[in-house]
Amino acid sequence: MTIGLGLESSCDETAAAVVKDGRTVLANIISSQIDLHRVYYGVVPEIASRAHLETINILINRALDEAGISFADLDYVAATNRPGLVGSLLVALQSAKVISYALKIPLIGVNHLEAHLYAAFLEGREPEYPYIGLLVSGGNTVLYHVRGVGDMEVIGRTVDDAAGEAFDKVAKHMDLGYPGGPVIERLARTSGRKPILFPKILPEPGDQRFSYSGIKTAVVNYLAANPGADQADVVHSFQERVLEILARRAFAAARSRGIRTIVVAGGVAANGRLRALLAEGRRDGEEIIIPSPILCTDNAAMVAGIGYRYFAGGRFDGMDIDVRARA
């Protein structure tokens, strides 16, 4: 039995988790900073890093208590060190360094994006490679060909805004609240489904990029020209365009490579309409794997989980490991 502690502080969630053998979550504690950033309609880096500092030790102790273990039971400690806000990343990584040094256990720096994709394998499944990984969040929209642990080829990524970022910006423009994704999804459900024909995003066959700046601008221009427009119809049409390209790209990448499994992760993966589009588009023999909503958001169980795979392979980091804003 191998017990790992995972720490996460890359953006606006502080998290600590304990995972057994890379699969069984013994504790997964998350502290959200949404209330701190809501007034700004986005994450303020200095506020985020200060909040991480105030919270990280409390969460570590809560995770150990919930798992029923002590520091002495840990076999390794893993922390996100890339990508993310530098000041925020430092909190989890420095905490992990102290634990590693004091307990003389391996330290493992984790790619936040790879950890998100691994979250799908914390609910009773063993990872099966290769698969197509679609990572969709407020800061990232990336499509990967995942061949193994640490072996991820970028197939396509956004050329401007991430999908979650587009949700936030449209919600801010319409004064709907923050974060934008959940509030837009809820409002879209009340739409009378009167279609508003926003432009289709990058429709050319073979294009593997994502782009959301244009659709965001189209919404702004439509509202300016139609001040009495029904907000529910507007966000419904906006959401359909944003999510449609995600499903279209994922299926195209998988089918062109003869891959039958698609893993979808990140905060936007919790969106019910995206899940429905993927289910509707799936062909016989294809499998769509999406973690539970709690594992779609930033969490530390995914960090400890992928950290176990590195631990099992003897791939550790030294005390000189640093944080990186980009992956």
216-237 pLDDT tens trace? 999 999 999 999 999 999 999 9
CA-to-CA distance for 175 and 8, rounded, in angstroms?
Answer: 30
| H/E segment holding residue 15 | strand 13-20
Name the band, by pLDDT with cuts 50, 70 and 90, for residue 104: very high
One-character DSSP codes across 273-326: HHHHHHHHHPPTT-EEE---HHHHSS-SHHHHHHHHHHHHTT--B-TT----S-
Provide the b/e sequence for 176-188 (b: ≥16 CB within 10 Å).
bbbbbbebbbebb
The structural domains of the chain, with segments of one domain joined by +, span: 3-120+296-312, 129-290
The CATH superfamily holding the domain 3-120+296-312 is ATPase, nucleotide binding domain (3.30.420.40)
* Fold assignment, 129-290: Nucleotidyltransferase; domain 5 (3.30.420)
pLDDT at 193 over 90: no
Name the band, by pLDDT with cuts 50, 70 and 90, for residue 327: confident
Name the band, by pLDDT with cuts 50, 70 and 90, for residue 195: confident
- Average pLDDT rounded to a whole number, residues 125-145: 95
Provide the b/e sequence for 288-302 (b: ≥16 CB within 10 Å).
bbbbeeebbbbbbbb
Name the band, by pLDDT with cuts 50, 70 and 90, for residue 124: confident
Name the band, by pLDDT with cuts 50, 70 and 90, for residue 239: very high
Least confident of 200-209, 288-297, 318-327: 200-209
Mean pLDDT of the chain: 96
CA-to-CA distance for 105 and 316, rounded, in angstroms?
Answer: 10
CB 266 within 8 A of CB 136: yes
What tens digit of pLDDT does each residue of 265-301 get? Answer: 999 999 999 999 999 999 999 999 999 999 999 999 9
Name the band, by pLDDT with cuts 50, 70 and 90, for residue 205: confident
Least confident of 8-12, 75-79, 125-129: 125-129
CA-to-CA distance for 13 and 88, rounded, in angstroms?
Answer: 9
